[in-house]
A and B are shown apart, each in its own frame.
Chain A
Amino acid sequence: MDMLLPFLVSGLGVGAVYALSGVGLVVLFRASGVLNFAFGAIGALAAHCAWSVLEADGGQALAWAVAIGVSMAVSLAYGRLLAPALAERDTSIRSIGTLGLALILVGFAEWTWGEGPRRLVLPTDADGLEFGDVRLTWTRVLGLATAVAMMAAVGLLLARTRVGLRMRALADDRGLSALLGVRVLSVDGVAWALSGAFAGVCGMLLANIVRLQPTLLTFLVIPAFAAAIVGRLKSLPVTVLAGVVIGVLEACAILLPGFAPFRTAVPFLVALLAILFFRNTTRKA
């Protein structure tokens, strides 16, 4: 058990970020019908901008602000400028559009900052909490706390506020909501901006926990997708739980003999297992 603890804790840290990403993805999907394949890429861009700020001695607060600002701006820009052009097409095509965005962002990031992996070192990395053998940097603690807070806030937003109500209406029936007077585009905008904020935070945290590299960060969204699949692109609580479980399993898989190099395939296996059990609900008349 002692041997397991550091991996469990580390897995919880990463798992919380997966859960946060999953929530960001599902909230956007439910409100706008688009599954944002560029979620990771937006986060990658945000993290790189933050890195530049830190390199220029801008300070941590500014770095975070820039990161979240950039991610929200990019997400909102896509959501208001490009996504409407695809709004009439079916779900697959609208989501494939975000693949184009992902390619643009990753290409841009690699062009501007180069491919070389870096570390996103935050001042809060310097110190941390200690539990016996395990050390949690303040970044991770703050990250965990932020993740929990953001997920709770989104839950509250959807359940208690008027904007949340409109978002749920949109998710339920977009056309009908429009007819009922819900300002579709502006509610859409809220969803995209919110999702962008999540992307920015997740990008920063993952860049800190793993490393700062455009392609890597873009595809670290895959575990989030796995979590979203387990939640059937609908249920936020299940997505959160799945994200955490995937993170923990992935971390603890290091301990399995011979499996260590393959542990990044864990999210895929979890998702595959999940869909095997899904009832076939979508073949309709």
Chain B
Amino acid sequence: MIRLDSVTVQFGGLKAIDELSAELDAPVCGLIGPNGAGKTTLVNVLSGLVVPRSGRVEVDGSNLLPLAPVQRVRWGLRRSFQTEQVVEDLTVWDNVRAVLDHVPAGERAIAQDVAEVLHYTHLADVATRLGSEIDLFHRRMVELAKALVDRPRLLLLDEPGAGLDERESALLREALLGVQQFRGAQVLLIDHDVDLIAATCRQTLVMDFGRRLALGPTAEVLADADVRRAYLGA
């Protein structure tokens, strides 16, 4: 569960996040809002790249703010970026394996762990291809795979499905829905694809101008008048 308590982030005179409080406990939670609403900033706060001016950030009972970004990764926080960060001249296997270099050794053997994750994310066929040789779907799945190795606790996924077609999106949805059962981690999903959010997220947080606009079951939130006005187009 993610618990945010009056989080405020200020860049100079601009309040990127304004007294945001929320409790997100669904296995897959959505985070939506217009551009500039502060979604990426919130993810940066969670991953440690941005320090909030005030407020508390707790995930699964652990206070995250005192931890440095590297420490949060070891704690179990994983993040993907809008532009995928697949390393061109490493194989898919090595790309995923690289994440395990820097988290403490778990109970699972490394090779077994990577193999399982690659199977889960439909990457088994391309495990020995270089990053430069695989297509966009596989690249997006590599991002997901990197987030799933070892013992993740929270996955922060920033538009993981951008550029995928119908069939690929469906596979991505399956994968996202199964994350809690596969590895026991929670997923926070930022996306502009409302269909994806509706299909995968039980709970959604809507932000606008750095503030919480709505939070609740996805269907309700998407039907909310304020949300429609601000984001979906009434």
Contact = CB atoms under 8 A, between A and B. Distances in A.
Direct contact between the two chains A and B in their complex (CB within 8 A): yes
Contacts of A285: 44, 49-50
Interface residue range, chain A: under 10
A89 to B, nearest CB: 16
Q: What is the interface of chain A mostly: helix, strand, loop, or mixed?
A: loop
Interface string A241-285: 000000000000000000000000000000000000000000001
Contacts of B49: 285
A285 B11 CA distance: 14
A61 to B, nearest CB: 53
Nearest to A284: B49
A82 B170 CA distance: 48
A43 to B, nearest CB: 40
A48 B151 CA distance: 67
Nearest to B44: A285
Interface string B179-205: 000000000000000000000000000
A234 to B, nearest CB: 19
A115 to B, nearest CB: 42
A285 B43 CA distance: 11
B45 to A, nearest CB: 11
Contacts of B44: 285
B38 to A, nearest CB: 14
Interface in B31-71: 44, 49-50
Nearest to A285: B49
A285 B49 CA distance: 6
A285 B41 CA distance: 11
A285 B44 CA distance: 8
Contacts of B50: 285
A279 to B, nearest CB: 16
B46 to A, nearest CB: 12
A210 B39 CA distance: 60
A285 B51 CA distance: 12
A285 B79 CA distance: 12
Nearest to A283: B49
A285 B83 CA distance: 13
A285 B50 CA distance: 8
A280 to B, nearest CB: 14
A285 B82 CA distance: 13
Interface string B150-184: 00000000000000000000000000000000000
A217 to B, nearest CB: 41
B195 to A, nearest CB: 29
Nearest to B50: A285
Nearest to B48: A285
A285 B47 CA distance: 10
A93 to B, nearest CB: 17
A271 B49 CA distance: 30
A126 to B, nearest CB: 59
B30 to A, nearest CB: 22
B202 to A, nearest CB: 29
A285 B69 CA distance: 11
Q: What are the 3 A-B residue pairs with the smallest beta carbon separation, nearest first?
A: A285-B49, A285-B44, A285-B50
Interface of B: 44, 49-50
3 contacts: A285-B44, A285-B49, A285-B50
